[in-house]
Amino acid sequence: MPARPEQIVDQHAARWGLRRPGEMKLASELVLDAERSRIPKDRYLSRAFLERENERLWTRVWQVACREESIPAPGDHLPYRIADQELLVVRQDDGSLRAFYNACRHRGNLIRPEAGTSEELRCPYHGWCWSLDGSLRRIPDRHLTRGVDDETYALQEVACESFAGYVFVNPDPGAPPLREFLGGVADRIAAFRMEEQRLTSWHSLELACNWKVGIEAFLEAYHVPGIHPQLVNILDETNTVYERLGVHHHMWIPYGLPSTRVDGATDREIYEDWLREHFRERHLPGAAGSATWEPEFDEKGAIVGERSARDYLIERQQAEGRVRGHDYERLSREQLIDVDHYMFFPNFVILAKADDSFILRTRPHATDPDRCIFDVMRLEPSDARGPLPVPAVQLVESTPESIVENIGEVIAQDFANIQRVQRGLHARSLEHVTLTANEVRVRWLNDDIDRWLDGD
Ligand code: FES
Ligand SMILES: [Fe+2]
């Protein structure tokens, strides 16, 4: 009798020595019933739904505005746009952070349209001016106004807190503390010490898809064989596991082994494909790295000896880390090679890895459900061999071509894909999308969005 799909997945895991984090579940343990597997397509297309999100979600949820290192010194500020709202995060004289509506109390102009540094927040239109803490400092010809008192005309503040170097804002005056909102996801990512990492690139572009279509493509690995065929020898999407962490969630994708869908990948192919992707996606020169050894392959491409290609790749990562001066002691063997995907509800995904992390964020367009703003950032650990990478302060307005050039082919494939999805969703014949359990996080995300839209 042929093995059942679940058995194949388990046998593959055993053969490759995968150790699944105990609390995480395979897709086969998370199968959705028919009703829960369907998501009405209106959520991705309708103006009314977008407006409800803008009204009920973005005004009340903690969301990542930027990284701490982008605004390190007093007076540094960075605008953050969410839907039709404009906010401004400002580093204070005492090193703390505050965020305000980026709207002049005079006639509404954006006070600071760009990231920058200044000793005070002066609106360029007529010169009304606030201190960094938002208190009103100066109004030209103030004697020609009535009823403009300092207290009422301070900048309007929104909650602002940081965690692991990420600066969060929340426009809701009744917002719970950030740590309470993050709950278990904060504990899970602690080992990566992201507060010590530095933002080394930040690309931002507008894409022709809904913000949820955009982020949902990073909540599952089911699409890998279809959209990223170059990865099938080195990533087992069928052994991916999932866990919910309050409104956030976590997905763990094993790397350095082939998908169970692939027949007959040799050790050499696995090893070489991994190195190629690893170095290409990081734009590092060659695959020479710092390891001084290579596994020995026989004429069929099998590694000589007991250890697997995955074992060698893990050791290679350890060796690389030692040369670069990174402290990998706190990370498990799995964390050195696999990809830990974390989602901060509702729109922020971290692909946490030992040697760098990718960050993906989608934000809604102010009025058009068919468009979103997509940010791609990279974090790198400080390197003991040299100074920290220069923090990326400036957003780079990117094109799909510059994304391939600067960030890599995998993301470019995703970008092309999600824009095709948005076009397809308009089909009059289509009422809903249908999820497999591999895509359970898409269900979770939409459940929590509903909670925000329908709740108090
Ligand atoms: S609108 Fe800002 S000073 Fe007039
Ligand atoms: Fe992808």
What pLDDT does 147 receive? 95
Q: Which of 217, 240, 451, 271 is nearest to 339 (CA)?
A: 240
Spacing, Cα 124 to ligand 1 middle (Å)? 7
Q: Same structural domain for residues 251 and 373? A: yes
Q: Same structural domain for residues 220 and 336? A: yes
Q: Same structural domain for residues 125 and 217? A: no
- Is the model's pLDDT at 397 over the cut of 80? no
The bound ligand whose nearest atom lies closest to the alpha carbon of 141 is 1
The bound ligand whose nearest atom lies closest to the alpha carbon of 124 is 1
Nearest CA to ligand 1 atom 4: 126
C-beta of residue 269 within 8 angstroms of C-beta of residue 233? yes
What pLDDT does 324 receive? 75
Q: Same structural domain for residues 343 and 419? A: yes
- Is the model's pLDDT at 220 over the cut of 80? yes
Q: Same structural domain for residues 17 and 100? A: no
> Quick check: is 442 in a domain?
yes
* Per-position b or e across 185-216, b if 16+ CB within 10 A of its CB: bbebbeebebeebbbbbbbebebbbbbbbbbb
User: Which residues does a 6 A CB cutoff place in the pocket of ligand 1?
Assistant: 104, 106-107, 109, 123, 125-128
Residues 6+ apart with CB under 8 A from 211: 347, 362, 363, 364, 365, 372, 373
Please give the average per-residue pLDDT across 396-402, as a whole number.
65
pLDDT band at 288 (very low <50, low <70, confident <90, very high): very low
Last residue of a domain, one of 118, 150, 174: 174
Q: Which of 364, 349, 344 is nearest to 55 (CA)?
A: 364
Query: Amino acid identity of 336?
Result: L
The larger pLDDT score, comparing residue 179 to residue 199, is at 179
> Quick check: is 317 in a domain?
no
Closest ligand 1 atom, residue 128 Cα = 3
Q: Same structural domain for residues 161 and 191? A: no
Q: Same structural domain for residues 162 and 245? A: no
Residues 6+ apart with CB under 8 A from 66: 78, 80, 89, 167
Contacts 24+ apart (CB under 8 A), 445-449: 445/212, 445/215, 445/216, 445/219, 445/249, 445/343, 445/345, 445/346, 446/39, 446/43, 446/212, 448/247, 448/345, 448/346, 449/43, 449/53, 449/57, 449/212, 449/346
- Is the model's pLDDT at 38 over the cut of 90? yes
Q: Is 112 helix (H, G, I), strand (E, B) or coil?
A: coil
What pLDDT does 192 receive? 85
Spacing, Cα 400 to ligand 2 middle (Å)? 15
Q: Tokens 């959705």 — which residue?
A: 32
- Is the model's pLDDT at 381 over the cut of 60? yes
Q: Containing H/E element for 434?
A: strand 432-434
pLDDT band at 395 (very low <50, low <70, confident <90, very high): low
Please give the average per-residue pLDDT across 98-114, as a whole number.
97
Residues with CB under 5 A from ligand 2 (ion): 414
What pLDDT does 320 receive? 80
Which has the minimum average pLDDT: 178-182, 283-287, 359-363, 393-397? 283-287
Instruction: Identify the bridge partners of residue 398 per DSSP, sorted by sequence position.
Output: none
Q: What average pLDDT does the chain have? A: 90
> Quick check: is 50 in a domain?
no
- Is the model's pLDDT at 406 over the cut of 90? no
Q: Same structural domain for residues 194 and 169? A: no
pLDDT in tens, 116-127: 999 999 999 999
Q: Same structural domain for residues 156 and 212? A: no
Which has the minimum average pLDDT: 117-121, 229-233, 252-256, 353-357? 353-357
The bound ligand whose nearest atom lies closest to the alpha carbon of 127 is 1
Closest ligand 1 atom, residue 111 Cα = 2
Work out the burial of residue 414: count CB atoms within 10 Å of its CB; fewer than 13 is exposed, 13-18 middle, 19 or more buried.
Answer: buried
- Is the model's pLDDT at 136 over the cut of 90? yes
- Cα 217 from Cα 415, distance rounded (Å): 9
What pLDDT does 383 receive? 63
> Quick check: is 314 in a domain?
no
The larger pLDDT score, comparing residue 406 to residue 448, is at 448
> Quick check: is 423 in a domain?
yes
Q: Same structural domain for residues 335 and 226? A: yes
Q: Same structural domain for residues 243 and 377? A: yes
| Widest CA span in the chain | 90
Q: Which of 229, 297, 311 is nearest to 267 (CA)?
A: 297
pLDDT band at 287 (very low <50, low <70, confident <90, very high): very low
pLDDT band at 22 (very low <50, low <70, confident <90, very high): confident
- Is the model's pLDDT at 218 over the cut of 60? yes
Q: Report how many helices (DSSP H) and strands (DSSP E) the chain contains, helices first.
A: 13, 21
> Quick check: is 385 in a domain?
yes
Question: What does 279-330 look like in DSSP terms, one character per residue?
Answer: HHHHT-STTT-S------B-TTSPBSSS--HHHHHHHHHHHHHHHHT---TT
Please give the average per-residue pLDDT across 272-278, as a whole number.
87
Q: How many CB atoms lie within 10 A of CB 93?
A: 12
Residues 6+ apart with CB under 8 A from 157: 98, 99, 100, 134
Q: What is the CATH number of the domain that holds 129?
A: 2.102.10.10
Query: Amino acid identity of 257?
Result: L
Spacing, Cα 246 to ligand 1 middle (Å)? 42
Please give the average per-residue pLDDT across 5-33, as a whole number.
91
Last residue of a domain, one of 174, 203, 225: 174
Please give the average per-residue pLDDT across 44-73, as a whole number.
96
Which of 112, 120, 121, 125 gets mutated to test ligand 1 (max ligand atoms within 8 A of its CB)? Answer: 125
Range of the domain at 75: 64-174
Please give the average per-residue pLDDT across 145-155, as a whole number.
96
Instruction: State whether the Cα torsion 406-409-411-416 is positive or negative.
Output: positive
Last residue of a domain, one of 144, 174, 204: 174
Which has the minimum average pLDDT: 8-22, 39-53, 226-240? 8-22
Q: What is the CATH number of the domain that holds 418?
A: 3.90.380.10
Instruction: State whether the Cα torsion 395-278-328-294 is positive or negative.
Output: negative
> Quick check: is 303 in a domain?
no
Q: How many domains does the chain have?
A: 2
Nearest CA to ligand 1 atom 3: 126
> Quick check: is 339 in a domain?
yes
Please give the average per-residue pLDDT across 38-54, as a whole number.
98
What pLDDT does 282 receive? 60
- Cα 294 from Cα 133, distance rounded (Å): 56
Please give the average per-residue pLDDT across 140-144, as a whole number.
97
Q: Containing H/E element for 97?
A: strand 97-101
- Is the model's pLDDT at 209 over the cut of 60? yes
Q: Same structural domain for residues 88 and 222? A: no
Please give the average per-residue pLDDT across 253-267, as a whole number.
91
Instruction: State whether the Cα torsion 118-123-124-129 is positive or negative.
Output: negative
